[in-house]
Structure 1
């Protein structure tokens, strides 16, 4: 798989910002989303710009599956709202997935907190 193009990255960031605003407004009425803050960590766009996968995580990480299921149920409404906020010829089809970047970040922090790893890094003459 090749790295995303600058165009994919720009469109992904544009959609991420607009999607974050839409979710922060709280106008999507669903019990699984009521009173929840949803973080949009990243939006990956396909090379043809027809599909966008939003990596999301509810604040606190609880109820992730229910929140993603609610977002999927309301993706048509969310897509219409995106269309009014972003200047794109075609708004991509939306997909939602759990954002695992926080888990990877925690794992890296635990790894670097290990005394053996810290010792090895401290002894590295290039560090």
Structure 2
């Protein structure tokens, strides 16, 4: 039997509800900087929903310490009951999924990959074509 659309739709609805709660209702001092929900994955049986949290600091680099990240996850875990009850109120479900919170590390991984690629000193296609054009201009 094929995978249905329901987990994806439910995940998007949960993301919308929790994002709205972050703006209006959840006022924990451990939410430092800009905190948002980047994605929600719901299991096929809708028993668990994993919420991926993205947080940017207020410093110019936007990096948070591990202690601040742990504080943000702890704030979400302490507000889990309120979040689940709001999800149950807005989405008519017989069973509201259990919420798991994880930090989204895709931005950090992307920065790491950029650093690795920049250290390789590989010229891009644009640089190669520009160099070829210059060499052709000097020949004429």
Unaligned runs of 5+ residues in structure 2 are: 58-62, 130-140
Pairing 1:82–2:83 present: no
1:18 is aligned to: 17
Cα displacement string for residues 77-101 of structure 1 (whole angstroms, at most 9, x for unaligned residues): 1111122223433221111111112
Aligned positions, number: 116
CA RMSD of aligned residues (A): 2.5
Q: Does structure 2 retain, via aligned residues, the 8 Å contact 1:36–1:58?
A: yes
Q: C-alpha distance in 2, partners of 1:75/1:104? A: 27
Pairing 1:52–2:40 present: no
Q: Does structure 2 retain, via aligned residues, the 8 Å contact 1:41–1:55?
A: yes
Structure 1 segment 23-38 matched on structure 2, within 5 A = 23-25=22-24, 27-33=25-31, 36-38=33-35
1:104 is aligned to: 109
CA drift at 1:58: 2.2
Q: C-alpha distance in 1, partners of 2:80/2:21? A: 12
2:122 corresponds, among 95, 113, 116, to: 116
Query: TM (normalized to structure 2)?
Result: 0.69
Structure of higher CA gyration radius: 2
Q: C-alpha distance in 2, partners of 1:117/1:43? A: 37
